[in-house]
Amino acid sequence: MRDVWLAILRRYALLFAALLLVIAADIAVNITPPLVLQYLVDHLADGAIAEETLLLVALLYFALCAAGGLVDTLKETGITVLGQKITHGLRSAMCQRLSRLPADFFVQHESGALSSRFINDVDTLESLFDSGVVSMIADACTILAILAVVSQISGGLGILLVIALPLLFLLTRYFQRRMRQAQLDNRAAVAKTSALIPETVDNIRTIHLCQQERYMAERCRVSLKQSFAAMERSNFCDSIYSPIIICNCTAIICLMMALSVSSSAMQALFGMTVGSVVALIAYVRRIFTPLESIGMEIQNIQSAIAGIDRLREFFAAPLESLPPAAASPSPAEQQLPLVIEHVSFGYGKGPSLFRDFSLTVREGETVTLAGRTGVGKTTLFKLILGLYAPRTGNIRICGLDPRAIPAEKRRPICCCVEQGFTAIDGSVRDQITLRDARVTEAAVQEALALTGMAEVCAQLPQGLATPFCPALFSQGQRQLLGIARAIALNPRLLLLDEITANLDALTERQIIRALQAASKDRAVLSISHRLYEASGGKIITLS
């Protein structure tokens, strides 16, 4: 993961440096107005300043306030842009890595957990930058700068602030922790209520039949009550925090004034003038905003660290070791769509599912794999598709090692139709082309004609341009679309994994007819007894 970070930081080093400059400018611009105000008030009080100079100083004060707002906006924009760039760089690195992870990784990690790495964990990492580390550095620098200036004007107030600030910081953290806990409790209660709604709707008949309405209502009431109580706690902390901070701020100012007038020694320490009082009040107020932000930033950094750990795990997963890119096979090898020679395979360190298995499928041939359930028929397909490497032996598709075939060359060589149709977001045409520019309109029409789906698609409201939704087609029609997708780039080898399972006899016959038309002149390896009976091809039993 360190390489990824370094690459990202190197790429955006300029932006990072510019951001640091803007942060420095922001601190400087925000710290100056009270000093100008002090000068202005002091000189107004003793009347020893020309009117034009006064006007100029007043204008300077307003200009500095405006510049402060401007630089602040620039700083926020810079932090957000840098955070977004880092997120983009990180997600791109994750996507690149995702396509090189072995099939086992996807068996061990649920798709939901993997999506969460891409969405939630990367988002928390973004917050590590835009409302975490960078903002914390900026806030800490602002506090130090204010303390330095305040100590210059009034050493006594500087000491007071150094004593009070850690206590106020602890108070802020206490409130923030309580609010966070209340929000977490509320989220858990809301999630419970949300889960209850679909559960109730799905089981509404059973609830009525078993007269469980009260029980369900009670469950809902309990989680709503928990949510309400948690929100109350959060609101309470929120409402009393600001008054407490304002009271503290006022108490510090009062204490400063009381001490400065109590004795001449104290006055020397606090060094009060009318202007300095105005400036110091402004500084005391200003110091609380970054103090409060730092508390939130620590919280963000803590949750981001958990996200970083999960991302580190993702980046630490070993990549698939692929054989070198496939060299062009000899013309003799090219003629054989599938050759399996003495292959043995088992998952991980488990026992071998099959040993010394050999098979050749030629052009125009339909071979059916048979064998008891769990014998490894689908596993053999995974080996042919290059998802796993055989323990021993070789597999060649058109003379190439399936694991070494580049992604863009796979579709014209070998395609697999599975039991269920997996749709992509887009139109009906996209389901066949998969947005692959090599699939021409003529190829789409030919694939639809071969599978008998041309008429069905022509009757759709916008023809092939109709946005796809599962309700447009029956289960059998979706399977036919899957076959049309598989043959659209005219692959030499077609793998069919129980594609007629769960279908009624009529639809099954329709699919078998479509397959017979699609199988002409290509090698077909199937796990389907029906197809075997219909095609009369070879049957190979795995044992």
Ligand X SMILES: Nc1ncnc2c1ncn2[C@@H]1O[C@H](COP(=O)(O)OP(=O)(O)OP(=O)(O)O)[C@@H](O)[C@H]1O
Residues within the interface to ligand X (CB under 6 A): 107, 347, 353, 371, 373-379
Helix (H, G, I), strand (E, B) or coil at 341: strand
Minimum CB separation of residue 497 from ligand X in Å reads 8
Tokens of 341: 């020679």
| Closer residue to ligand X in complex, CB, 269/317 | 317
Minimum CB separation of residue 522 from ligand X in Å reads 22
| Closer residue to ligand X in complex, CB, 234/379 | 379
| Closer residue to ligand X in complex, CB, 284/343 | 343
Distance CA 393, CA 88 (A): 42
Angle, in degrees to the nearest 10, between helices 134-153 and 13-46: 20
Judge residue 41's burial from the number of C-beta atoms within 10 Å of its C-beta, 0-12 exposed, 13-18 middle, 19 or more buried. middle
Compute the chain's Rg from CA coordinates: 35
Distance CA 540, CA 138 (A): 70
Q: Give, in order, the Cα–Cα distances in Å from 177 to each of 226, 234, 241, 386.
A: 18, 10, 12, 51
| Closer residue to ligand X in complex, CB, 153/343 | 343
| Closer residue to ligand X in complex, CB, 289/419 | 419
Helix (H, G, I), strand (E, B) or coil at 348: coil
| Closer residue to ligand X in complex, CB, 288/381 | 381
Minimum CB separation of residue 314 from ligand X in Å reads 19
Q: Give DSSP secondary structure letters for 234-248.
A: HHHHHHHHHHHHHHH
Tokens of 463: 């023809």
Nearest to 157 by CA among 287, 65, 294: 287
Minimum CB separation of residue 541 from ligand X in Å reads 11
> In this structure, are residues 189 and 223 in contact, taking their beta carbons and an 8 Å threshold?
yes
Minimum CB separation of residue 417 from ligand X in Å reads 15
Minimum CB separation of residue 373 from ligand X in Å reads 3
The angle at the Cα of 412, spanning 408 to 413, to the nearest 5 degrees, equals: 100
> In this structure, are residues 460 and 466 in contact, taking their beta carbons and an 8 Å threshold?
yes
Tokens of 67: 């510049």
Minimum CB separation of residue 542 from ligand X in Å reads 7
Minimum CB separation of residue 528 from ligand X in Å reads 11
Distance CA 483, CA 513 (A): 12
142-149 contact pairs (CB < 8 A, 24+): 142/27, 142/30, 142/31, 142/286, 142/290, 143/287, 143/290, 143/291, 143/294, 145/27, 145/28, 145/31, 146/31, 146/283, 146/286, 146/287, 147/287, 149/31, 149/34, 149/35, 149/283
Minimum CB separation of residue 313 from ligand X in Å reads 20
> In this structure, are residues 241 and 175 in contact, taking their beta carbons and an 8 Å threshold?
yes
Minimum CB separation of residue 111 from ligand X in Å reads 14
Question: How many CB atoms within 10 Å of residue 103?
Answer: 13
Distance CA 141, CA 28 (A): 10
Helix (H, G, I), strand (E, B) or coil at 438: coil
Minimum CB separation of residue 380 from ligand X in Å reads 7
Minimum CB separation of residue 419 from ligand X in Å reads 9
Minimum CB separation of residue 367 from ligand X in Å reads 15
| Closer residue to ligand X in complex, CB, 266/370 | 370
Residue type, 455: E
Minimum CB separation of residue 382 from ligand X in Å reads 7
| Closer residue to ligand X in complex, CB, 318/374 | 374
| Closer residue to ligand X in complex, CB, 12/345 | 345
| Closer residue to ligand X in complex, CB, 380/493 | 380
| Closer residue to ligand X in complex, CB, 164/380 | 380
| Closer residue to ligand X in complex, CB, 109/219 | 109
Question: How many CB atoms within 10 Å of residue 36?
Answer: 19
Angle, in degrees to the nearest 10, between helices 441-451 and 475-487: 130
| Closer residue to ligand X in complex, CB, 348/461 | 348
| Closer residue to ligand X in complex, CB, 190/542 | 542
The angle at the Cα of 358, spanning 536 to 384, to the nearest 5 degrees, equals: 85
